[in-house]
Structure 1
Amino acid sequence: MGSVIGDLLPLAVGVAISPIPIMAAILMILSKNAGGAATGFAVGWVAGIVLVATAITLIAGSLDDPGDSEPSAASSWIKIALGVALVVLAVRQWRARSDTAVPGWMEAIDTLTPGKATGLGALLSVVNPKNLLLGISAGLAIGSAGLGAGEAAAAIVVFTLLASIPVLAVVIGYRVAADRLRPSLNSLREWLHANNHAVMAIVLAVMGAVVVGKGIGGL
């Protein structure tokens, strides 16, 4: 179990420091529907991470021989492919680092209802290529480790909590100390917007190397 958590830690950090969901959470907090929209977004974000990690864990478990303590060759090659895909995304993000245009959906955040914010949170955690690849990598790490159902569920919970810390911290922190956090959140939002692509390029490159290494180690 401990080794699995160790494998999940860098993947969870990769999801957690995603600039886009943090920016979205901040914008919702500063919007007209601050409380409801931000809470809905956090719920959708967590639910999306759980969905991907759980689904891939179940699929990965079916790829491995229950009597084998080592991951199958199929799981290892899938990890290598995922790692390469993350590195490719890192290159694309680095090339786009000078692009500071605001996505259209961010401009519409001020009008989001709690229900739509929940959907957006789930969408960003599931459909976003980087988060999807990291979630799949986490599911493979859990599902191919030969854990029991309880341990696998606990690993998914740990991964989800670690991956959700920044979004949850922004939402919960604002509810506790809204007036004191508003200036800091504005500054953080501006910095993330200016450095989004560069931050993501570094994160993706590191995560890609980690996942490829795990895949090669399992062959």
Structure 2
Amino acid sequence: MTLDLVIIGLGIAVFPLSVTAFVLVLSADRGIWKGLAFILSWLACFVAVLVAVLITTGGKPPAPKSPPSTASSAVKLAIGLGLVAYGWYRHKAATRTERREKPPGRMSARLDRISVWTAAGLGPLLQPWGLVAAGAATVVSADLSRSSSYAALVAYCVLATSSLLAMELYALFAPDSARVRLGRLRTWLHTHQNQALVGVTVVVGLFLVARSIHQLTS
């Protein structure tokens, strides 16, 4: 379970669409407060999904080869295949997608006018829900009678939110430097967002496919 959560958590942390949106929120007027609202709502939603799974399982992992265990692996397999297919689609449609993308200045202007409450609403909305669902299917195997499972779940939440937290703290303690570097990051993401999105979805998707097939056949 731990390795799966690490890979999924890393995928969530660097997911280009979420990172791009957060950079724009952080660059807006009163960006520190809007970024904090974004992170808190993001984390609250993220934790709520995990809690719902743990309540459903009772904190006890299903027995190997049992219907719940098989269903969990099948869900992860389906999500993995979906991520690979989505990455392939984005790769094939790269030229058309780039042609339709809005300039970063227009999106930045829109986000500059949003309220703190709107920023909070964007947190759950912009989570990569395919990866979040894969994490939820993995957490089915958590055994809350073991302290290592608690540590793995906390580490997963922190890892998945780490990029947002790092940018928020950077902007808080070094605002001038952060303004320059986050601007460069925003420019880079606008230019390379599609390639980054393809890379993240395909890598995580292939990992989930391989792990799920191993779990279903072993």
Structures share fold, TM-score greater than 0.5? yes
1:117 aligned onto 2:126: no
Structure 2 match to 1:13? 10
Structure 2 match to 1:192? 189
Instruction: Please tell me the residue identity of whatever aligns with 2:17.
Output: I
- Structure 1 runs not aligned, ≥5 long: 126-130
SS at match of 2:28: coil
Q: Deviations over 1:123-163 (max 9, x none)?
A: 111xxxxx212111112212124443865554332211101
Q: Whole-Å Cα distance in 2 between the matches of residues 65 and 11 of structure 1?
A: 19
Structure 2 match to 1:128? none
Instruction: Please tell me the residue identity of whatever aligns with 2:71.
Output: A
Q: Cα 1:33–1:145, aligned 2, differ >3 Å: closer, same or farther? A: closer
Q: Whole-Å Cα distance in 1 between the matches of residues 61 and 29 of structure 2?
A: 53
CA displacement at 1:30 relative to structure 2: 2.0
Q: TM-score, normalised by structure 1?
A: 0.84
Instruction: Please tell me the residue identity of whatever aligns with 1:79.
Output: K
Choose the corresponding residue for 1:133, options 126, 130, 138: 130
Q: TM-score, normalised by structure 2?
A: 0.84
Q: Whole-Å Cα distance in 2 between the matches of residues 162 and 65 of structure 1?
A: 23
User: % of aligned pairs identical?
Assistant: 28
Conserved in 2, the CA contact under 8 Å of 1:96 and 1:197?
Answer: no
1:167-206 matched pairs, under 5 angstroms: 167-206=164-203
Structure 2 match to 1:95? 92
Q: Whole-Å Cα distance in 2 between the matches of residues 167 and 206 of structure 1?
A: 21
Choose the corresponding residue for 1:81, options 78, 83, 87: 78
CA displacement at 1:50 relative to structure 2: 1.9
Structure 2 match to 1:164? 161
Structure 1 match to 2:30? 33
Q: How many aligned residue pairs are there? A: 208
Conserved in 1, the CA contact under 8 Å of 2:35 and 2:119?
Answer: yes
What is the aligned-residue RMSD (CA, Å)? 2.4
Q: Deviations over 1:151-206 (max 9, x none)?
A: 55543322111011111111111000001221111111000111111111111111
